[in-house]
Each structure stands twice: as C-alpha cells, then as structure tokens.
Structure 1
Amino acid sequence: MYPGAVCLRGINQRKTGKIDIISVCVSTFGLTETVTMKLINSSARGPSFTCLTLAFLLLLQCHHIASDFGQKSDSALIVVDNVGGGEGVGGDEEEEAMVNLKVVQPIEQWQTLKPGQAVPAGSHVRLNLQTGQREVRLGEEQLKYWKQEHREREGTQSSFTPDELKQAMKKIKEDLNTYCPLEELKTDMAQLDLIVETDVQIMRRLLDQLNSSNSTAEQRLNILLELEYLVHQVDNAQTLCSMGGLQFILEGLNSSDFRLQESSAFVLGSALTSNPVVQVKALESGALRMLLTILATAQPFRVKKKVLFAVASLIRHFPYAQHNFLSHGGLQVLSELFRADGGRVLQTRIVTMLYDMISQKELISQAGLDPVLDASHEERVRQYSQVSLEGELLEKGWCSLVPQLLESTEHDYREKALRALLVMAPMCLDKYRSDSSLLGSLLSLRDQYLEMVQSEMILGEENGYFAEIVELIDALQVKMK
C-alpha cells in the first residue's frame, strides 16, 4: 500500500479454482481529488469490472474502513463466486507468497472451523458453547443450489496454490498506479442515481431554495440547519458571504417566525466564530445593530440565547466591533437582560462575554511590550485602546451585577463569575470592599469548597476541580484586602 492511502481488497475464488483479486484504494490526502481503483484478474477471464462497479463497492464499504484499518485478524473473508467463469491468462514472473489461505466448503451438517480458515458467503457460522469451537454448515440459499450431485460434478478446492497467490500479489503491485478520475467517478455515480456535489454547489442550491417564494417555513428551517453545519468551515462561511447568503441570514433575523429568528442567529453565530473575514462583512452589513435590537425587545428565551451567541462571536477578538458594541449601548442592553434572567443561563453567557473582552484587551496590552511584534499587532493595540470598557462597566453597575451569579447552585456558573470578578478587580476594587454580601458569599463558598476538596483528596485527586475554585476565591480575597 502506498503512503496516504486506505485500500479495500477482495479475493474471488471461481469454481474452476482460479482467483480474482479486487483492490479499491482511497487516497487519504485529498479524498475529493482522486479515488484509486484496481482490478487484478490474475488467472481467470470473466466479466470485467468497471469504475461504476468499483464506485458502488466503495460506497458500500467505506464506512467500515475507519474501524477495520489497522486491526489484525486471524482469518480472511473469502467470497465464493456462485456463477461460472472462463479460463484466464496468468503472468510468468513469480514472487514469494506470504500466505496460504484455506477455504472450507460447508456441508449440510455442522463441522468445526479451524483458526485461519474462511468460509463462502451465505454460510451459517455458530459458536459451540460446549467445545468453544466455531462451526459452519451450508446456508439456506446454498442448500438450494449446492445439491450433492452438483457438488460432486463441480468439485471444490480447499486452498489456493502458491503460484496463484504469487501471480495475484505481483499483479497488485503492477496496478497500484491505476487511477479512476474524479469526473469519471461522478459519471458512474450518476448512473447509480447518486449526485456528487461540492460544498459550494450545495450552498448555492440551499440559497436558491431559501430565496424561493414557494419554500415553506419548515423547509426554510431545514435549509438553515444544513447551512449551519456547512459554515463551521472557515472557507464555506466566507463563500456563503460572497454568494450573498449573509443578506438572507439577516433577513431571517427580521422574520415574524421565532423559529426562523433562532435558526438564522445560530447560522450567523457559527459563521462568525473565529472568522475575521465574515466578522468584518457582518459588521459592515449592520448585523450588530440588528442583534442588539432583538436582545432589547421582547423575544422568547431560546431566540435571545442564540442571538447572544451571535453577538459574542461577532465581537470576539475584534476591537473595532467591540468599540461599536459599546457605542450602540451594548452594555446597557446586556445589563437589562442580566437583571431579567432568572434561570442564570443568560447571565452566565453574559459574564463569560465580559470576561473575554477584558482578558483579550489585557493580553494584547501585555504583548505590546515586546518590541519585535509587527505593525499589524501595533494596529490591534491601537484599536483596543479605543475600547473604553472599564468606564462603561463602572457606569452600568457591573461591579454589583456580576457577584449575583455567585448565588447560583451550579459550580460552573460560580467559576465563571469568580474569573470575571478577578479580571474586573482593578476597576471594581472599591465596590467589592464595600459589598458586604460579596464578602459573606466568598467566606461561605470557601468553606463549602474546602469540604469538597477533602473529598477529592480521599479519591486521590489532589489538584481537582474544586481545589481550583478555592484558588480563585483565595486570589480574589487577597486582592480585596
């Protein structure tokens, strides 16, 4: 097998005792580019296999490759052809045979199957619980066909000769460079009523359907679900924007159907994640103002949850978007949303967003001390300097809002609140010291988590999750002294 490929090989034994070896290889370095398919007809002249047949075999078997690749087996699967074939032409050169495969011809009674032996397709195989041995007999279809006189007339061959295997193995190496072009494979698949589409073609089709006036709400929801899966790839998200798909997604945010609003926000957030090109295009298209408007108005919880995800994806590592977020009253919108959330889910997402914004600016400022950084980093530092986050947090009362999340019973929510409180400490220290409820919460939580740490240590976890929370509490208490 050549590097970067996964191969499927099958050995076909004919009634004449001759064999065919079929090999289907898939390049793992670019599956969409080439599929290698080979037919080695070492000593039997029978019906030729086309790319159409091999493509069908590949589709049936490719989902087994990942689980079977690299695994060892003490037996081989030999499929006995039940259709007669003609005589073939063999090669002259010989190569050392490494194996001597044996095929057991089943009979009507159960017989023991020894290690290393294989059986024809359709045979019945069982494990004898008394002896621990595998046993085989003819299957129902075989019983109909393999009558006694037919078996005596045709005869059987229990093993391949070394010469036959030598010729077959030689033929495999000779045909390793035989390729079936992708376009030919597509043509063959089309004859099987299979359509091969690239991601770009799929997105174009989905956008046409989304823009169609004949599409129902249910169909649009399914389209958005497919798009959300595709735009996780950076290139696909950028291509979707160049196709005009961003405009369709933003139109979905204005839909009167809450389900379409939710799905559209989900697609947008996924496309924006770690994708600066899409972030810029979305900001230029007015996506931020539209998202903040939805958060500021009466909407179902599930819609606001996905919209909040889209906002966080839009402003993450994007100082210019953060500046616009603050100038459009983003922190005020979030503070009202924080106060209205009784389930703590949105509160946790909001606190996490604030933590990310503060941490990103702090990290950029610290990295700016390195004199060897390039001009693009200097520009990023300049943009972050225009994000007046500290003053906005103080003005909108976040120094008192974030500690409320410590009242949650969820450990994860508490952890995120403690991390946010730590990064906000330089600007909120006076507020912390005058907040008696915060001081009491920290003391109570520390005692509670110390008990949990003792339980972790009993289980052998010296540096467990609860110990980490205690460290966060201790660090915050030190800053407040």
Structure 2
Amino acid sequence: MFPVPVIMRLIFCYFGGATLSCLFLVLLQLHCSLSQKSEGALTVVENTEGGRGVDEEEVVTVDNDDDDDDGVFEVVQPNEQWQTLKPDQAVPAGSHVRLNLQTGEREVRLGEEQLKYWTQQHREEEKSRSSIDPDELKRAMKKLKEDQSSQDSAPSRFRPLDELKKEMADLDLLVETDVQIMRRLLDQFNSSNSTMEQRLSILQELEYLVHQVDNAQTLCVMGGLSFILQGLNSSDVRFQENSALVLGSAVASNPVVQVQAVEGGALQTLLTTLATTQPLNVKKKVLFALACLLRHFPYAQRHFLSHGGLQILSELFRADAGGILRTRIVTMLYDMISEKELISQAGLDPVQDPAHAERLRQYSQVSLQEELMEEGWCSLVPQLLQSTEHDYREKALRALLAMTPVCLDQYRSDGALLGSLLTLRLQYSELIQSEMILGEETSYFTEMVELIDSLQVKVK
C-alpha cells in the first residue's frame, strides 16, 4: 500500500504537467519509504547547504515512531562527518540522513543542534588520542633515558661556585678607584725606572682626573702638587706644557686647591716661567694656569700684583707681535676687573650671604686698576685694536671699557685710539650693510658697533 502523501504527489505531478525531475523525486521518496526498516520514515527536506552536489542530492531527517517498532536494529552513533548506513542500522533522533545518488547508499551525520556541542576542543582531543602511536612513544622514552645517561656521564659544563667566587674576588682587585689610580700614577712618576715618555703619559692621565674637584684636592693631599711644580722647572718643553695643564685644571674653580697652590709657591713659579725665555706653547699653557689660579681668588691677585705680575705681563705683551699672547693677557685682566665690579654691585642687594663682606674686604685690597694705569696698560691695550681678528678687537674693546674709570684722561688724549674707533665703526657699519643685503646674521657686528659707541660716548 503506497503512503497517502506519495499518492497525492503522483496525482499532482500527472495532472499538473510536472517535469520529469518532479516525478523522479516522488518515486525516490516512494523507494525510501518502502526500503526503510527503521522505526522512522524518511522525509524529504530542502538541502540546507546550498545547491545540489554530486554526493549530497537530498538531506533527510529521521522522525521516530514507536508504534511500528517490530525489529531490533544496530544503533549508529553519528559524528560531524558523513558515514554510510547499512540496511540493518538505525540512527538516533535528530540525526541528518541523506541518499548519495552516485553510490545509492544512505549516509548519516550529527544534526545541526548536535553539531553546536561538537566543539573544536573535543575534536582536537579525539585527534590527539587517535594519533598517538604506542611504538613511537616507546622509542621517545628510550631516547630520553639515553640522553639523560649521557649527560650524567659527560663532564659538567658549569664550574664550581667556589672557583667563580675566587675569580670574582680577583676581578674586584682590578677595579681601581680614582684615588687608587692617582696613587699608582704618582708612585710610577717618582720611580727611578720611569722614562720621560711614561711620565708625560702620567701627567696626561692626571690632567684628566683633576678636572673633578675631589680628585684635585686628593692629589694635593698626596703631595702631587709639588711634583707638578717641579715639572714647570724642567728643561723639557713637553714636561713644562703638561705640568702647566695639570696645574691649571686642578686649580680651576677649586678654592681649596688654589690656596694650597699659592702656599706651595705656584704663583712665583708661574711668573718666573713667564719672565724667562720660553717657547710660545709653554707660555700659552702657563698663562692658562695663571688665569685659573687668579680667577675669583683676591688673595692670589693681591700677591700677583705685589710680585710684579703686571710688569711681567706688560713685557710679554710688548714682545708678542702675533697677538696670541696679547689676547690671553687682556682677557685675564678684563676678568679680574669685572670680578671686582660684580662684587661691588652685589653689595647693593638687600639680602647678602654671610661671606660677602669678607670677599668685599679682600677685593678692596686689590688695587688692580690703579696699577694698570701705572704700568702703562692704558696705552698698551688700544694696540690690540690694530689686529685684523674680530675676536682680538672685541677683547680689547671690553677691556678698554672696563678700564675707563682710571684711563679716561689718557683715552681722550690718545689720537691713535680715537682714530681707530672711527675707522672700526665705519668698517663694522659697512659689514652690517653687506650682511643685511646677503640676508646673513648681523648680530655680532652690531654688538661690535655698540661697544665702539659706548666707548666713544665715554671718551667725549
């Protein structure tokens, strides 16, 4: 007996002029109904995976019907893959069943709801369990034991802890502090086995170290200052230069070392070196050391004046035709004048530090400008304006302005000075115009014109 739905579809296809595909589909459903031995009937549904594939012509679901269950079937547990169903096999409710038109066999897999709970983690666990090869596991365990045995029998790659500690202790002995380095350098310097080249190298290392305030003071405590002063009296020019550099670096902005240097006779040694016939390079380094020793140190400035320092510098100034030493000398004198002026201006502040009164008293004992006038510096400094170097001229103009309080009368009567000021102002005014046309920076030349104007105003 044909099922009623099948008969109704046959009538519809016959009288409705249906195509052959419609008749084929109805006959297919009839075949499935007659051949199904399970408790459910196969119902044709639309293919939910889109299109009709070669292996997936129709998708069906299984509906259980307990009233017609007369036999016993083998229940297949489906998964996410399609698997073939045998005629005597049944499937759980909710599974998807299809008929493969190429093979003519029925296939089953999990339904859509069941697939939601078939997680990726479950599939990976199943794959991992199924991929373990017992023989491979045995071989891996055997190899692991062999490797462990070879490591136990081989010599250790790590050295004993006691040996490492000993080496670290030896390394600590090689890490020297600056104090230890200076002590070692002084010992080598005083050694009779040291050559002149080695001593020059030691002086260069000391010059680097004494830039630090504490190191310079430590060097004095060790007695290194006396060896440096002895180097200034050496007959070797290189030894004199390097000794002067070490001394200048040690006393620069270091009042403690400045005091010890003056008390140790450094000022007299420097002035003596300048007064004797020496190469130009030696005199440049000695002037550097002298300027560092006098800067911000009125006690040393006073002794400098009392020991004829200005007279020695004036002779050095006249003998220097190139102007290199002249510029250094004029700069040093300008710094000394400016320091005293700044101290006097600081005394006008309502709040003063406790040491200001003492500094003011010490600077009052330094009669620098008066001695400058007496030693003829009012006529010496203007000679530097004849230089072709802009820097030399700038240093001379600043020093002339600083010396105006004591040199004004001589300035007004110095025709060469007045003529130089007119010539320089015209020259720098032309340079300003030229630089403006070219679009270059003119601030330096403008500053030079301002210095000249300030000096001309004072002279008038």
> TM-score w.r.t. structure 2 length?
0.62
Runs of 4 or more above 6 Å deviation: 184-187, 189-194
Number of the residue aligned with 2:339 = 360
Number of the residue aligned with 1:233 = 212
C-alpha distance 330-477 of structure 1, shift in aligned 2 (>3 A) = same
Asked if the contact 1:189–1:195 (Cα under 8 Å) also holds between the matched residues in 2, the reply is: no
Question: Over alpha carbons, which structure has the higher Rg?
Answer: 2
C-alpha distance 185-346 of structure 1, shift in aligned 2 (>3 A) = farther
Asked if the contact 1:189–1:196 (Cα under 8 Å) also holds between the matched residues in 2, the reply is: no
Which of 189, 195, 198 is the matching residue for 1:216? Answer: 195
Equivalent position amino acid for 1:278 in 2: V
Number of the residue aligned with 1:446 = 425
After superposition, what is the alpha-carbon deviation per residue over 1:373-426, rounded to whole angstroms, capped at 9, x for unaligned? 133110000000000112101110000000001111111111001000000011
Identity value in percent: 79
Between the aligned partners of 2:214 and 2:197, the Cα distance in structure 1 is: 27
Between the aligned partners of 2:333 and 2:165, the Cα distance in structure 1 is: 50
Equivalent position amino acid for 1:288 in 2: L
Number of the residue aligned with 1:245 = 224
The answer to whether 1:476 aligns with 2:455 is yes
Number of the residue aligned with 1:434 = 413
Asked if the contact 1:266–1:306 (Cα under 8 Å) also holds between the matched residues in 2, the reply is: yes
Q: Which runs of 5+ in 1 are unaligned?
A: 1-183
C-alpha distance 256-462 of structure 1, shift in aligned 2 (>3 A) = closer
Between the aligned partners of 1:415 and 1:186, the Cα distance in structure 2 is: 63
Equivalent position amino acid for 2:183 in 1: R
Between the aligned partners of 1:225 and 1:420, the Cα distance in structure 2 is: 34
How far off is 1:457 after superposition? 2.5
Q: How does 1:324-473 map to 2 (within 5 A)?
A: 324-460=303-439, 464-473=443-452
Which of 285, 289, 292 is the matching residue for 1:310? Answer: 289
Equivalent position amino acid for 2:216 in 1: A
Equivalent position amino acid for 2:204 in 1: L
After superposition, what is the alpha-carbon deviation per residue over 1:260-289, rounded to whole angstroms, capped at 9, x for unaligned? 111101100011111111101101101101
Specify the SS of the correspondent of 1:317. coil
Which of 156, 162, 178 is the matching residue for 1:199? Answer: 178
Between the aligned partners of 1:273 and 1:458, the Cα distance in structure 2 is: 44
After superposition, what is the alpha-carbon deviation per residue over 1:152-196, rounded to whole angstroms, capped at 9, x for unaligned? xxxxxxxxxxxxxxxxxxxxxxxxxxxxxxxx9997577689932
Moved more, 315-324 or 369-378: 369-378
> TM-score w.r.t. structure 1 length?
0.60
After superposition, what is the alpha-carbon deviation per residue over 1:20-70, rounded to whole angstroms, capped at 9, x for unaligned? xxxxxxxxxxxxxxxxxxxxxxxxxxxxxxxxxxxxxxxxxxxxxxxxxxx
Number of the residue aligned with 2:274 = 295
Q: Which has the higher strand share?
A: 1
How far off is 1:465 after superposition? 0.9
After superposition, what is the alpha-carbon deviation per residue over 1:270-315, rounded to whole angstroms, capped at 9, x for unaligned? 1111111110110110110111011111111111111111110001
Equivalent position amino acid for 1:290 in 2: T
Between the aligned partners of 1:460 and 1:437, the Cα distance in structure 2 is: 34
Q: Which gives a bigger RCO, structure 1 or 2 (Cα 8 Å, sep 6+)?
A: 1
Equivalent position amino acid for 1:470 in 2: V
How far off is 1:233 after superposition? 1.0
Asked if the contact 1:331–1:393 (Cα under 8 Å) also holds between the matched residues in 2, the reply is: yes
Between the aligned partners of 1:380 and 1:254, the Cα distance in structure 2 is: 33
Equivalent position amino acid for 1:479 in 2: K
Between the aligned partners of 2:369 and 2:403, the Cα distance in structure 1 is: 8
Give the aligned length: 298
Q: Which runs of 5+ in 2 are unaligned?
A: 1-162
Q: Which has the higher helix share?
A: 2
How far off is 1:343 after superposition? 1.2
How far off is 1:456 after superposition? 2.9
